Chains A and B, each alone.
Chain A
Amino acid sequence: MLKKAWLLFINTFTVSMTANSGYAIVAVFRNRFVDKYHWFTKEEMDDYVALAQSCPGPIACSSSMIIGYQSAGLIGAFAAVLGVILPPFFMMILVTFFYTFISTNKLVRIFITGMQAGVCAMLLDVVLGMFEGVIKMNNYFYYFMVLACFLFVRLTKYSIFYLAIICMVIAVVKTLLFKREVDKK
């Protein structure tokens, strides 16, 4: 058990150090735990990734948590998640030192401000990509939800944390109503 937890920690730590996006991390997990160690089947791994996507926070954390728990219980879960968060944690501490040191420099300021154009383009690309996902859901209800959420956040002063709760309630109600329809048939 402890040996497995240690293996989990070493693997998630090295993956987190080298892969940079959540999905890249999940891809390497699949490669190591399915193809190399044979701890899970490919189908099990697909289920775990789907579950991890349903959790708040980074998919790298939730997927390592689930993989860790399934292979070595709670100790495994904590070992795996610790391995994932330590590399970015230490690196960001260094980056923060660096940022506070240089961010008031006039030239650095101009550079960072200029970079914002690239950040806007990147976010626009992300939003469009996500919206394509909404289109794929192929239901007017979801278009309405996007519009309603947008109006909520632009026109009201209420916190978006309330909006998240309202959305969850709507989803639960919709599932219950839909389920009843299916039962009737």
Chain B
Amino acid sequence: MISILDIFLSFLKIGLFAFGGAYAVIPLIEEQMVTNTGWMTFTEFSDLVAIDELTPGPIIINSATFIGMKLGGVPGAIAATLGCIIPGAIISLTLIYLYRKYKEIPVISEIMKVLKCMSVALIFSVLIKMFMEAVIPAGTLDSLNYISLVMVIVCFFILRKYKTNPLYLMLACGAITLVLNLTGLL
């Protein structure tokens, strides 16, 4: 049994470093939950990213509630959610205090720029792992899943060109895979 305090501290760490947009938290969750603690499998993590996209609400809160709930029930969910918002709460209150005093804080904007660069690299790295899972599940060329590969490419072009809600594309991918499986084509 994982203690509620451990869940809280893990999410405190994630909350403290989740700078730079909604998706920045995804690599941090993978690092903390899959690599560092082993509390989740990579498959569960991939499921979670899909669920985050299917449900409204900020990704970090959805993920924290979901993981906390799985690890320690409702108390776990509360601990995880509190953990991930406390750093942001303290920092936002500090910033508004500094803002009232000085109006401009150049160091902060530079930190944000550098962390944005980091987020791009980290999300790209997680994306590579998820792409491998989806397209070459066994890690060899024999296991190459053509249908999955085609779906990724087609969905990407639809997203770029028509700015479609990714939710519909994900549901379509799921439905196509299911139909192909049931009809025995896959």
Binding site for B on A (CB under 8 A): 16, 19-22, 47-48, 51-62, 65-66, 69-70, 77, 81, 85, 87-89, 91-93, 95-96, 99-100, 103, 107, 110-128, 130-131, 133-134, 137, 142, 145-150, 152-154, 159-161, 163-164, 167-168, 170-172, 174-175, 179
In the complex, the answer to whether A145 meets B114 with C-beta atoms within 8 Å is: yes
In the complex, the answer to whether A58 meets B60 with C-beta atoms within 8 Å is: yes
Residue B55 lies at the interface, judged by CB distance under 8 Å to chain A: yes
In the complex, the answer to whether B123 meets A119 with C-beta atoms within 8 Å is: no
Given contacts A96-B65, A142-B117, A160-B27, contact A124 B93 (CB under 8 A): no
In the complex, the answer to whether A22 meets B77 with C-beta atoms within 8 Å is: no
Q: Tell me the nearest residue of chain A to B168, going by C-beta.
A: A118
Q: Which residues of B contact A70 (CB under 8 A)?
A: 96
Given contacts A81-B89, A120-B130, contact A57 B84 (CB under 8 A): yes
Interface of B is mostly: helix
Report how far A93 CA is from B70 CA in the complex, Å. 9
> Which residues from 41 to 56 on chain B have a C-beta closer than 8 Å to any C-beta of chain A?
46-47, 49-51, 53, 55-56
Q: Which residues of B contact A96 (CB under 8 A)?
A: 65-66, 69-70, 77
Q: Which residues of B contact A120 (CB under 8 A)?
A: 127, 130-131, 134-135, 152, 155
In the complex, the answer to whether A122 meets B181 with C-beta atoms within 8 Å is: no
Binding site for A on B (CB under 8 A): 13, 15-19, 21-23, 26-28, 31, 36, 46-47, 49-51, 53, 55-62, 65-66, 69-70, 74, 77, 81, 84-85, 87-89, 91-93, 95-96, 99, 106-127, 130-131, 133-135, 148, 151-156, 158-160, 166, 169-178, 181
Report how far A167 CA is from B57 CA in the complex, Å. 28
- Shortest Cβ distance from residue B122 to the other chain A in the assembled complex, whole angstroms: 6
Report how far A127 CA is from B108 CA in the complex, Å. 22
In the complex, the answer to whether B108 meets A54 with C-beta atoms within 8 Å is: yes
- The one of A125, A145, A171 that contacts B159, using a Cβ cutoff of 8 Å: A125
In the complex, the answer to whether B116 meets A130 with C-beta atoms within 8 Å is: yes
Q: Which residues of A contact B58 (CB under 8 A)?
A: 22, 57-61, 88
Report how far A77 CA is from B58 CA in the complex, Å. 18
Given contacts A69-B96, A167-B115, contact A92 B61 (CB under 8 A): yes
Q: Tell me the nearest residue of chain B to A96, going by C-beta.
A: B69
Q: Which of B50, B53, B135, B172 has the most CB of A within 10 A?
A: B50
Given contacts A62-B92, A77-B93, A175-B110, contact A100 B51 (CB under 8 A): no
6 extra A-B contacts, CB within 8 A, seeds A56-B88, A57-B87, A85-B61:
A91-B57, A93-B77, A123-B26, A147-B121, A160-B27, A160-B122
